[in-house]
C-alpha cells in the first residue's frame, strides 16, 4: 500500500499553533490567578474542620465538594497547587543550573573529564528517580525544602546530557574556531560563546521539568515521605482520598488529579510551541 503524506498549509499550521498557545496561556493564567486570588477573596480557613459537612458532593457553596473532615476542596486544591508550583519552579531552576554547569564543563573540557562526568551521569541515571528521591528525603524531616532538594538532585541529569550535546555541537562552529585562532582561552570561549548558545535549550528543559517536578513531589507526598500530612499538597490530597474513593465518593480524588493534569498539559503546550518557533523548518506530517 502506497504511503500518503499530508502536509498542512502554512496558514493552517500557524493557526493551529496559535490556538494551542492561546489555550495553554489561558490555562496557565487561570491557574496563577486562582493561586493568587482565591485565598485572598475567600476568607475561609482551608484547615477549618466541620464534621457536619464531611464528604458533601460538589454544590454552589462548595464547588469541589468537601473532604472527609468537612474542609472545602476548592481551597485545599488551590493551596496544594501553590505548594506544587513552588516545588516545581524552584526545583526546576536549581536542577537546570546544576545540569547546565555540569554539561557545559563536560562538553567544553572534553577528554577524561568528559568521560568521568558522563559515567557519573550514566550511573545516577540507572537509578530510578523516585527511588533516589525517597533515599534523599528520608534523611530529613518532612517539609517543602527537603522535597525541593530531592527533586533538584534527581532531575539535573537529563539537562546535563542536553547541554553537553549542544556544547559539543557548538565547538565545531566557525565562530569558536575564530575565537581559538584569536588566542581566546578555553574559559573565555566557554563563558562568552558556549554557555550563551545552550541557554535556549536549557530554558526549554527547565520549563518541561516543572510539571515533572510537580508529579515527583506529589508521588513523594502520596507515599507519606514528602510534605507533612496536615499540609495541603496535591499528593497529600490524593493520598487522603483513597478511602473516600473506595466508598464511592469520587470528588476528593478527581479534582486534585485535575489540578495536576491541567498544568502539565498547559506547560507542555507552551513548550511545544516554543520548540516549533525555534525550529521553523519543522513540518507536521500525517502518515496514512
Q: At what angle do helices 157-171 and 195-222 cross, to 10 degrees?
A: 170
3-class SS of residue 15: helix
Return the pLDDT at 286: 32
Alpha helices in 138-194 (DSSP H): 144-154, 157-171, 174-181, 186-189
Rounded to the nearest 10°, the torsion over CA 96, 99, 100, 106 is: 180
What the chain holds in terms of domains, given with CATH numbers, is 77-275 (1.10.3720.10)
**Residues in contact with 167: Cβ distance below 8 Å, sequence separation at least 6, in sequence order:** 103, 104, 106, 107, 108, 194, 197, 198
The pLDDT, as a whole number, for residue 284 is 41
Q: What is the pLDDT of residues 257-270, one digit of tens each?
A: 888 888 888 887 77
Q: Each residue's pLDDT tens digit in the chain (288 positions)?
A: 445 454 555 555 666 666 777 777 778 788 778 777 776 666 566 666 777 778 888 888 888 888 877 788 888 888 888 888 888 889 999 999 999 999 888 888 878 888 898 898 888 888 887 888 888 887 877 778 888 888 888 888 888 998 888 888 888 787 777 777 777 777 777 777 788 888 888 888 888 888 888 888 888 888 878 777 777 788 888 887 877 777 778 888 888 888 888 888 888 777 766 666 665 444 443 333
* C-alpha span between 283 and 105 (Å, rounded): 34
Question: Do residues 89 and 210 touch, judged by C-beta distance below 8 A?
Answer: yes
Amino acid at each position: 500500500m502506497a504511503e500518503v503524506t499530508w502536509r498542512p498549509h502554512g496558514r493552517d499550521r500557524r493557526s493551529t499553533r496559535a490556538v494551542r498557545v492561546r489555550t495553554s496561556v489561558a490555562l496557565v493564567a487561570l491557574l496563577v490567578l486562582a493561586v493568587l486570588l482565591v485565598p485572598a477573596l475567600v476568607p475561609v480557613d482551608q484547615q477549618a474542620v466541620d464534621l457536619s459537612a464531611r464528604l458533601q458532593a460538589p454544590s454552589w457553596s462548595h464547588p469541589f465538594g468537601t473532604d472527609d473532615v468537612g474542609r472545602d476542596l476548592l481551597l485545599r486544591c488551590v493551596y496544594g497547587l501553590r505548594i506544587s508550583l513552588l516545588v516545581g519552579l524552584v526545583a526546576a531552576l536549581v536542577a537546570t543550573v546544576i545540569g547546565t554547569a555540569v554539561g557545559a564543563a563536560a562538553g567544553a573540557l572534553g577528554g577524561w573529564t568528559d568521560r568521568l562526568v558522563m559515567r557519573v551521569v550514566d550511573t545516577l541515571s540507572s537509578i530510578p528517580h523516585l527511588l533516589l528521591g525517597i533515599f534523599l528525603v528520608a534523611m530529613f524531616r518532612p517539609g517543602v525544602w527537603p522535597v525541593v532538594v530531592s527533586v533538584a538532585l534527581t532531575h539535573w541529569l537529563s539537562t546535563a546530557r542536553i547541554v553537553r550535546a549542544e556544547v559539543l555541537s557548538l565547538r565545531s562552529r566557525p565562530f569558536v574556531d575564530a575565537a581559538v585562532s584569536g588566542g581566546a582561552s578555553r574559559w573565555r570561549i566557554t563563558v562568552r560563546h558556549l554557555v550563551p548558545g545552550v541557554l535556549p535549550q536549557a530554558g526549554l528543559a527547565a520549563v518541561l521539568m516543572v510539571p515533572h517536578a510537580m508529579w515527583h513531589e506529589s508521588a513523594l507526598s502520596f507515599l507519606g515521605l514528602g510534605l507533612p500530612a496536615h499540609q495541603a499538597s496535591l499528593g497529600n490530597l490524593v493520598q487522603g482520598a483513597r478511602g473516600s474513593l473506595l466508598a464511592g465518593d469520587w470528588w476528593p480524588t478527581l479534582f486534585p488529579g485535575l489540578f495536576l493534569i491541567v498544568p502539565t498539559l498547559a506547560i507542555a503546550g507552551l513548550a511545544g510551541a516554543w520548540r516549533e518557533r525555534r525550529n521553523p523548518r519543522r513540518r507536521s506530517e500525517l502518515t496514512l
